[in-house]
Chain A
Amino acid sequence: MARIELRDVVKRYGAVEVLRDINLDIQDGEFIVLVGPSGCGKSTLLRMIAGLEPITEGDFTIDGVRMNDVRPRDRDIAMVFQSYALYPHMDVARNMGFSMEIRKDPVQDRIDRVRGAADTLGLSALTKRLPKALSGGQRQRVAMGRAIIRDPRAFLFDEPLSNLDAALRVEMRLEIARLHQKLGATMVYVTHDQVEALTLADRIVVLNGGDIQQVGSPLELYERPANKFVAQFIGSPTMNVLPVTGGDHGVTVANGVTLALPHLPDTLQATELGIRPEHLDVVPAGAGEIAGVADVVEHLGSDTNIYANIEGLGSLMIRKHGNIPIRSGDRLGLRFQTENAHIFAADGTALRRATGSADKAESGHAPTRSLDSDPLAVLLEDPQ
């Protein structure tokens, strides 16, 4: 089992700094997801943990032992590559058992373990096939099988599902979650897909441009984003952000409407207001804080998405549960659930009261979650 720590880690390619001041504490058995837009350094961070990329500065330890200069093979970590990286000239069984072959484990042992893993992953009928004779999903499973067969201290995944179609992605996501529950091993998982991040993670690490933006549980990131970037990156559909003028215990929206925000401090410094689509209520025209006209209305059955044009403000998105009888062109009023509003200073930092629970986001504990009672499930727009 493994507790992974990164202290002041920096990565440079020549003069280019790709990662800065990375401090991260990954608990034994924790499922950590690294998310961020493409090019933000997720893969680089993962590859440094794997030992495939040298660490420029800082310390990286596993269970308290410094690992910076330890070869990948001696770190006892398994990795699932985005490309799967199956050995094309070996059949499925040999691919899966390759690590044991290299370790010179007893042959019978290897055969048994490969059989066991193949059974678990539903690959029993395919063990004699070459990778090229497998579908994308099957290759994915073989790649997972290759990782689990050796019972490593930690698993690394680099966007393992991004080459699969949507249905398979959901299926494999569940499978990875089950795997984590079953093995209880430390897992570090890279993705740019926030749905994967929110559904799988104990804690999410949001990266942008080489900096850690925030570390926290999915709910913490959703409810208390540390800045505008996290606020807009986490949550789907994306949070609406409006320019505002800060006032005393409230803000004034560009078209002159004032919103009272008694629960938030420092409203004077606010330059932007963030409100999630699900935290806007549709009320009859004339009521609510703002009046608008429905532009596009999407009826998804379970939800209704309304894109409303607001005079002097632009477009706002509203999402409501159920089927809301509104049609394009209807006039409507909007009410802000101000207790769920976020305000941001000019540099993008979220302005919020320092509460005990907010601090917890940085404290590095590993909350245990179960798959079926997930309050976030309701908040997510799952493509499936």
Chain B
Amino acid sequence: MAVARSHPALTVGKYAALLGYLTFALFPLYWLFKIAITPDQLIFTEGTNLWPSALTIDNFRTVLFQTDFLAYFGNSLFVSLGTAAVTTVIAAGAGYAFSRFDFGGKRLIIAVMLVTQMFPLLMIIAPIYKIVASLGMLNSLTSLIVVYTAFNIPFATFLMQSFFDGIPKDLEEAAMMDGCSRFQALRKVIFPLTLPGLGATLGFVFTAAWSELLFALMLISKNEAMTFPVGLLTFVSKFSVDWGQMMAAGVLALIPSCLFFIFIQRYLVQGLTSGAVKG
């Protein structure tokens, strides 16, 4: 498709719009970082300056070595990775079944899964608390993994289903004609092509679990089992908020998310299935 060269003014406009959007989206992150490296005594005096007159890494040092931050961090990592792995495995299986098989009750199951997404979480927080408490699983990270997994499965399943739908059925059938069982076809042909989908689902669930606060707050009250978002609240004391340390902790919390996306982004790049069919 040959598109006529657009007018220079249009091009400028396009980049201006992009720049505007990026500024809007990234400014809070910048502000987070700025406050984290601003010395405490300058936070209020230079509150609206774009760049502080002095820099410090004291906030980071304090957060890392004088608070329980590392423990929170480890808890969050455990919960998020666990949730992402369990959810993705289940969602991949369910998504494959929805995409490839016709079975009784399929529409019903899909409808029920959609219904679970319609309630505000606040409505079910009390019943969930009751259930977890009566199971004696309060203050355990496993309970968080179970709850997060349950909440993320519907969306993750639909996500995986759409990825499977994007892989032509012909490929599995060709593999089966070539001597594979259905499972071999899945493992040797479909699985390698689903890596972008698995990556996207892992990333999505990981981020959702990483930043979840509501359930973590309800189900966890012991300091040693706190996840990072709950731990962040400990920087709010009765009389003051330690902004610098809180922001430093926030910056550190971004690191795993960033690493995770850098790691999976090559799987997210589309085009792995191109060349399968005609074209």
Contacts and interface: CB of A to CB of B under 8 A. Distances in A.
Partners in one complex: yes
Given A81-B173, A83-B170, A73 B179 contact: yes
Interface residues of A, number: 31
A88 B196 CA distance: 14
B176 interface: yes
A212 B277 CA distance: 30
Interface stretch (B120-128, B235-243, B268-276): B268-276
B186 interface: no
Contact of A98 (B170, B178, B272, B278): B178
Nearest to A152: B177
Nearest to B276: A88
A169 B276 CA distance: 20
A85 B167 CA distance: 10
A85 B184 contact: no
Contact of A146 (B178, B181, B184, B188): B178
Contact of B170 (A81, A102, A139, A150): A81
Interface stretch (A127-135, A231-239, A252-260, A353-361): A127-135
A285 interface: no
A84 B276 CA distance: 7
Nearest to A50: B177
A133 B275 contact: yes
A337 to B, nearest CB: 43
Contacts of B193: 88-89
A34 interface: no
B177 A87 contact: no
B168 interface: yes
Contact of A52 (B173, B181, B188): B173
Q: Which size bracket describes the interface of B in this complex? A: 20 to 34
Nearest to B178: A99
B85 interface: no
A73 B275 CA distance: 24
A130 B271 CA distance: 12
Interface string B256-275: 00000000000000011111
Interface string B151-179: 00000000000000000101101111111
Interface string A70-95: 01110001110101111111000000
Given A103-B179, A146-B178, A85 B275 contact: no
A87 B173 contact: no
B275 A134 contact: yes
Contacts of B271: 132
Nearest to A140: B278
B181 A163 contact: no
Given A73-B180, A73-B181, A86 B175 contact: no
B177 A132 contact: no
A362 B14 CA distance: 69
B171 A87 contact: yes
Interface of B: 168, 170-171, 173-181, 184, 188-189, 192-193, 271-279
17 contacts: A72-B176, A73-B178, A78-B177, A83-B170, A84-B277, A85-B168, A85-B171, A87-B175, A88-B171, A88-B273, A88-B275, A88-B276, A89-B272, A98-B175, A132-B279, A133-B275, A150-B179
Which 6 A-B pairs have CB atoms at the shortest separation, nearest pair first? A132-B275, A85-B170, A131-B275, A83-B277, A85-B174, A99-B178
Interface of A: 50-52, 71-73, 77-79, 81, 83-89, 98-99, 102-103, 130-134, 136, 139, 146, 150, 163
Given A78-B177, A85-B276, A89-B193, 18 more contacts: A50-B173, A51-B176, A52-B177, A71-B176, A71-B181, A79-B173, A81-B170, A83-B276, A83-B277, A84-B276, A84-B277, A86-B276, A88-B272, A88-B275, A88-B276, A130-B275, A136-B278, A150-B179
